[in-house]
Structure 1
């Protein structure tokens, strides 16, 4: 694959601590990776942000730029949102864009940007009736949702294993979505 730009957007779930390895995997797949985080994920990774920026060659983003400020990133060819928290999934589906990351992916639907999302939620959050409605909304908008068999399977509260998060599935899915939209 020619070098294409992948926006890797991650929320505050424990698999985010493995994001440097995932960036390297995506780069090995030929992606120019730009890392975006929710504000909480940025706080969790505060000690690593400079290193992550050096790894990607782009500033790590988590907040809206000021009006008139230039965008420091190239245009996205595709976006992966993983790990996507309960809050991120629901805000995205409902169009609540107070978080920069959610604003970009909400707009991405209208722009036709190929996107894949892999939630990372426990079974208690997954049982909330809004969660499944939000996943259906995103599917209906053309987002590849990796949830359940062939994606992320919820765990009991406090029982998740961040090393078992299926990052590779998310990276593979965005390639599939990109080829389908091409």
Structure 2
């Protein structure tokens, strides 16, 4: 049973009744007020009960996990998923044999899957969740690679006194480049273009 209609002398009481019937906590349901009720004369005559519909909320985290498993299965990969939820951020860490298939070249497959999972999690939802997908620690390794790349290309920009254009990257990877060079005394960075072709440009300060 995923929803019930419940009554009570007030909306609060009707909601409690619905929660008891579903065996659920308040944060696990959506409540629609059908009738706020009426107390009536002396609380008795002409009174009307409050009526609410209590529905179990869809578990968006589980939906994301199930979607990942389905995609992985279609790609011939058996995957184990560890899920972490921190406020409005949901992290899925993937592991298993042949996990490289889900990462793809420079993380392109992983980035695409992350985008799709984010769409699934936020579909028909009242609040927005940020989804981060990782596989066998790839994100941390990629972060270190991008930081090294940022410093190497900053040196190139200074040496040639010309702007250096990086390849298009997703927003969180661009942020790594910007952060790595934020306090650099001789270059500045900015993003140009439209997603998914948006990229970072490193510019020498006196150019």
Q: Under TM normalisation by the shorter chain, which class is it?
A: under 0.3
Higher strand share goes to which structure? 2
User: Would you tell me which structure has more helix in proportion to its own residues?
Assistant: 1
Kindly name which structure, 1 or 2, has the bigger radius of gyration based on alpha carbons. Answer: 2
